[in-house]
Amino acid sequence: MATKKEETMEALMNDSMTIVSEPKKAQYEGEMVPVFLPAIEDNGSGGMKVDQYEHVTIANEHGLMRWRVLRGETVEVPVPVFVNLKEKYPKI
């Protein structure tokens, strides 16, 4: 007996205008490291807001990994992202 989810997927697959794809898997499945980056207090000139995220991009033969680390809060990041941040901020 088919479940309701399977019946819905079958109905969608029978429609010629609908494309069904597999959900994306998590990019990183290894160890996570807690990181705290201090918030940037300067709100810029002219009332402009400062981006409170540190953007980290790692590209290699396995693919592309993009992470946004929020400043002012403790955030868990993958080990490769921590290594990258450690190069830029040696005291974290």
Domains of the chain, by residue range, sit at 25-88
pTM beyond 0.85: no
Q: Write out pLDDT tens, residues 7-65.
A: 666 665 666 676 777 777 666 788 999 999 999 887 656 667 888 999 999 998 888 88
pLDDT at 46: 66
pLDDT at 90: 92
Per-state percent for the chain, helix, strand, coil, to nearest 5 = 25, 30, 45
Model confidence at 75: pLDDT above 80: yes
pLDDT at 15: 64
pLDDT at 65: 87
Give dist(CA 31, CA 42) in Å, integer: 33
pLDDT at 44: 59
Is beta strand 32-36 parallel, antiparallel or unpaired with respect to 53-60? unpaired
